[in-house]
Amino acid sequence: MKRTATRLMALALGATAISGAFALPALADTVKITIFGVGDIYQFQEDHGRGGFARMNAVARAEREANPNTIYVMDGDMLSPSLLSGFDKGQNTIDLTNIVPFDYAVPGNHEFDFGPANFMDKMAASKYPWGAVNITNADGSPIAGLGGTMMKEVGGLKIALVPIAQDTSPEVSTTGDLKFLDSVATGIAAAKAARDAGADLVVGVAQTPVTQDRELIASHAFDVLMSGDDHQYGTSYDGITAYVETSIDGRFLSPLDLMVDVTEKDGKRSVKWTPNFRFIDTANVTPDPETQKMVDAFAQKLDDSLNVVIGKTSTPLDSRRNVVRGQESAMGDLIADAMRAATNADIAITNGGGIRADRTYDAGTELTRRDILSELPFGNVTVLTQIPGSQVLAALENGFSQVEQGAGRFPQVSGLQVVYDPTAPAGSRVASVMINGAALDPDKLYKVATNDYMLAGGDGYTAFGGGKVLINKGNGNLMANDVMDYVEAKGTIDPKVEGRIKTVGQ
């Protein structure tokens, strides 16, 4: 046990030293520290006058000007997915954040969507440091350029920034042979090590789901936790840890002011603080002019090539996050149908989490290249494999295994009808499967169209492995191209929810 704890602490500290001389504030001084966190920043432009990098940078500039004791952090997910990142692999987000650099950034799972080598390149191009206490090379050695716990002197206080990455990243992204240690255990060990090293305040900068956020808060190892991943806005304070869930695309921001009192009695140093959560709706923020100029240039490049009409939908389409990750959707049907048609497959299964525009389309809407690429921004390729029905069933069981969590593995399908029980134990939820009008045969071989990410086991789809790959990544088309070709060939499409996916009793 001692050896394990020592190992966790060593990894937690990482390559960044947390010792050194600090000019401490005078006794009984009150110091105002502002901690400003952002995360899950995908779209470089505003959305209906809210969010985007220009407004986010404007707030960051204003906070630093108002209080020199400001710490600006990014808690993960930036390089992907977005329409522009599908072309430049996230370089636009580096260029935009280099204008107003972070004090520290932690990689989210989407930092690895284009592979670890791309992340290393983007990290090197950043004018700010990146860190994660729980990511190492495969052999356990530190990753060059990726720091660990950072100790900063701010206002005479020793403030530890503990960056915590999402330990499920290998399941949901393309992390190569990088090793991800347990987010909660490693993060808590890092926080305790920083406290033992003399930190006055310990700030977690985490790309972790709310379930892990709760564990980190309950540990009482952190004074502040800035967290991303859940795409929500929220704040809380339990009397020990102040918590900010940092929203999505910089739409709603919450700088946190800590009024810190430092006293010393009988040689004993005491640090006490009270939090003040501020709420900023970026609809009321004037965009940063320097950033907006770059945003406008990016937008013009996209407009020139993407605002091309390819067809029309005569029925409504829905790609909202909660829909494509929890039920059959007309947009999911369209994409799966296009994949099946492009490969002459028996069935198609794609992950709802790969459908990203999070919007609705009215009947009669003209569809453009931009629309399809916004829905499918990852650059995934349509592939075709041949597997027995038993593996198709296992794949579907995986797809429904985390429906209550809104996980991205939820399947959108073509060529099959499936009934499942969301109340049954994960792995035993599928009640029936019909393929092209006949019951699934566990021994029969089926041609299954999917995407290269899922074929490689992404989102837990290991059941797709071991089959006869008929179209591999190198020979497949971009999913987005298959969908655009499908829409363009038909001219007018009419997908509708038709009972491909039902729950028991429907």
- Beta bridge mates, 10: none
Q: What is the pLDDT of residue 23?
A: 52
Per-residue three-class SS string for 43-101: CCCCECCECCHHHHHHHHHHHHHHCCCEEEEECCCCCCCCCCHHHHCCHHHHHHHHHCC
**What span, in angstroms and rounded, lies between the C-alpha atoms of 139 and 112?**
19
Q: Is the peptide bond before 255 cis (omega within 30 degrees of 0)?
A: no
**What span, in angstroms and rounded, lies between the C-alpha atoms of 316 and 91?**
34
Inter-residue long-range contacts of 46-52, CB under 8 Å, 24+ positions, other chains counted = 46/282, 46/287, 47/249, 47/251, 49/283, 50/251, 50/281, 50/282, 50/283, 51/248, 51/249, 51/250, 51/251, 51/282, 52/249, 52/250, 52/282, 52/287, 52/295
Q: Which one-letter DSSP state was computed for residue 478?
A: B
- Beta bridge mates, 412: 350
CATH class of the structural domain 307-503: alpha beta
Distance between first and last Cα of the chain:
51
pLDDT tens, the chain, 506 aa long? 333 343 344 444 444 444 344 555 544 578 999 999 999 998 899 988 999 999 999 999 999 999 999 999 999 999 988 878 878 889 999 999 999 999 999 999 999 988 999 999 999 999 999 999 999 999 999 999 999 999 999 999 999 999 999 999 998 788 999 999 999 999 999 999 999 999 999 999 999 999 999 999 999 999 999 999 998 999 999 999 999 999 999 999 999 999 999 888 877 888 999 999 999 999 999 999 999 999 999 999 888 878 889 999 999 999 999 999 999 999 999 999 999 999 999 999 999 999 999 999 999 999 999 999 999 998 899 999 999 999 999 999 999 999 999 999 999 999 999 999 999 999 999 999 999 899 999 999 999 999 999 999 999 999 999 999 999 887 888 899 899 999 999 999 999 999 999 999 88
- Our CA dihedral for 336, 341, 342, 345, rounded to 10 degrees, sits at 80
pTM here is 0.74
Phi and psi of 299, rounded to 5°? Answer: -65, -40
Q: What is the pLDDT of residue 359?
A: 96
Displacement of CA 176 from its chain's centroid (Å): 17
Do the first three CATH levels of 2-298 and 307-503 match, i.e. the same topology?
no
**What span, in angstroms and rounded, lies between the C-alpha atoms of 149 and 259?**
23
The residue extents of the domains of the chain are 2-298, 307-503
Q: The tokens of 228 are what?
A: 């991303």
CATH class of the structural domain 2-298: alpha beta
**What span, in angstroms and rounded, lies between the C-alpha atoms of 446 and 345?**
8
